[in-house]
Amino acid sequence: MDRRACELLEKKGLKVIYSDTQDIGKRINAYDKDLILTYNPKQNEYQVYDVQNYPIVMIATFASVLDARLIERVKRADNRTSYGIRAKVDEVRNEQMKKEADEKKSAYEIAQAMKKELKGADKGLKHFI
């Protein structure tokens, strides 16, 4: 781990996690040496910071629980890998499918409302002969 980056993060009030029972911090650092696992006591969450461009440190991802799912989140957030890109493409595709389904549902509901309204109009007097 980059000692200077760790000191900077600690000055920001974060606690750098050097060791944990499941070695999540070490596993994240093994995945990418520029990633540092921290705990933010103010937000009560674990945060992974990218320190590749020190002194500019950027948050890569976060989680409320420290477990192996955090490693998965790190991999999904990584734009440099096909895994990260594929996950983002899947996410965008799912959002688009949901949007299309909502639009179809809205169009169907509008059509049903118009159909109901037109049925009632047939009972009235005809204005055009």
Same domain, 63 and 89: no
Same domain, 15 and 35: yes
Same domain, 59 and 91: no
Residue 129 lies in a domain: no
Same domain, 24 and 71: yes
Residue 56 lies in a domain: yes
Same domain, 33 and 72: yes
| Domain count within the chain | 2
Interval 56-75: pLDDT, tens:
888 888 899 999 899 988 88
C-alpha span between 62 and 129 (Å, rounded): 70
Same domain, 26 and 53: yes
Interval 76-123: pLDDT, tens:
888 776 665 666 667 778 888 888 888 887 888 888 887 777 776 555
What are the helix and strand counts (H, E) for the chain? 4, 4
C-alpha span between 79 and 75 (Å, rounded): 9
12 three-class SS: coil
User: Rounded to two decimals, what is the model's pTM?
Assistant: 0.60
Name the residue range of residue 13's domain.
Answer: 3-78
Q: What is the mean pLDDT of residues 39-61?
A: 88
